[in-house]
Structure 1
Amino acid sequence: MQYRIVEREAFQVIGVNREFPFEVEDGGIQAFQNFWNTIHENGIFDQLEQLRSGETKGLLGIWAEVNKEENKMDYYVAAEYSGDVPEGLKSLDFPASKWVVFEVQGPFPSALATTWERIYSEWFPSTGYVPTEIQPFEVYIETDPKNPKAYNEIWVAIK
């Protein structure tokens, strides 16, 4: 697995969210796709792309406010952004932290799922690092499912 470790000052992201079940069952992936289709259709995707600034190179997928007991989580599609929050968007603040950034190359979205599995089954046990309570996120740079070499990233705050 290719990765790099970066130190980041605190940063803000803005975006939109929807609540989903924590346990993704049959049809759950389609619910995420429907959410993405909606933000493409209503112009939010383009708005976030235009507002995007900072170190991350794409739009972000963030699983925030996870509640396993109630089987729910908020999923955000967001962009790193500095400034006042535009109307209709929400903000999330990330504190200063050390991050491990995993490079994900392969078909979207299956390569992301495979990389998540390897992060927790291989990388963490072999490095001595542990994840913090800060929510990890995916950075969507190339999302064409027909591209077998799509490049995306997974960011996990570590200590």
Structure 2
Amino acid sequence: MNYKIIEKESFKIVGVKREFSCVNGQNQVEIPKMWNDVHADGTNDLLFQLNTGQIKGVLGVCVDKRDSQSQLMDYWIATDHTGNTPEGLLELKIPASKWGVFEVHGAMPDAMQTAWKQIFSEWFPSSQYKHAGTPDLEVYTNGNPSSPDYYSEIWIPLK
């Protein structure tokens, strides 16, 4: 598993979000449907055009809201954007952090879901890092996400 550790100042994302249940992996079934929707309605293309920040690509942003009463998460499809938030989109500030940036190779959504499992079952237990508790990022580059050669990344905030 190829990764690097970087530090990045806070930044703003703009995009759309939905709330999902994490019970019985429901989020892993519903999030790919959200991606289908943003491809069909043109939001994905708009986000690539609005990508004026340092992270190049469209982001899947996981905001864990799980606690003792709730098994919910917000999932954003967004982009790193400087400037005003365009009408019809929401914004979220991502705090400054140390990040583990993990390479993901392969077709979506399987390659991404497999990488998440590896990070939490293999990498975290063998590293000195803990999850910082702020949003995670999936970075999707411009290209064919169905290609076996497709490149993407997972950014995890670390402490």
Alignment match, 1:66:
65
The aligned residue for residue 39 of structure 1 is: 38
Kindly state the Cα deviation for residue 99 of structure 1 after the two structures are TM-superposed. 0.5
Change (3 A) 1:23 1:143: farther
CA-CA distance at 1:48 after TM superposition: 0.9
Equivalent positions of 1:101-116 (< 5 A) are 101-116=101-116
Structure 2 gaps, min length 5: none
SS of the equivalent of 2:92 reads: strand
Shift of 1:28: 5.6
CA distance 1:26–1:90, change in 2 (3 Å):
closer
Distance apart, 1:43 and its partner CA: 2.5
What's the counterpart of residue 96 of structure 1? 96
1:47-86 aligned at under 5 Å gives the runs 47-67=46-66, 69-86=69-86
How many Å separate the matches in 1 of 2:26 and 2:96? 37
Aligned residues: 157
2:63–2:134 contact (8 Å) kept in structure 1: no
SS in 2 for 1:67: coil
% same residue:
41
Instruction: Report the TM-score when normalising by structure 1.
Output: 0.88
Contact 1:108 1:143 in 2 (8 A): no
User: How far did 1:98 drift?
Assistant: 0.8
Distance apart, 1:71 and its partner CA: 3.0
Provide the rounded CA distance (Å) in 1 between the counterparts of 2:52 and 2:84: 13
TM-score normalised to structure 2 length: 0.88
* Bigger mean CA offset, 105-114 vs 66-75: 66-75
Secondary structure at the counterpart of residue 23 of structure 2:
coil
Q: For residues 82 and 26 of structure 2, what CA distance do their matches in structure 1 show?
A: 38
In structure 1, stretches of 5+ residues that fail to align are none
Shift of 1:27: 9.3
By how many angstroms is 1:46 displaced? 1.7
What per-residue deviation string (whole Å, max 9, x for no partner) do you get for residues 52-111 of structure 1?
122222111112252353332221100000111111111111111110100011222211
Instruction: State whether structure 2 residue 120 is matched by structure 1 residue 120.
Output: yes
- What is the deviation of 1:5? 1.1
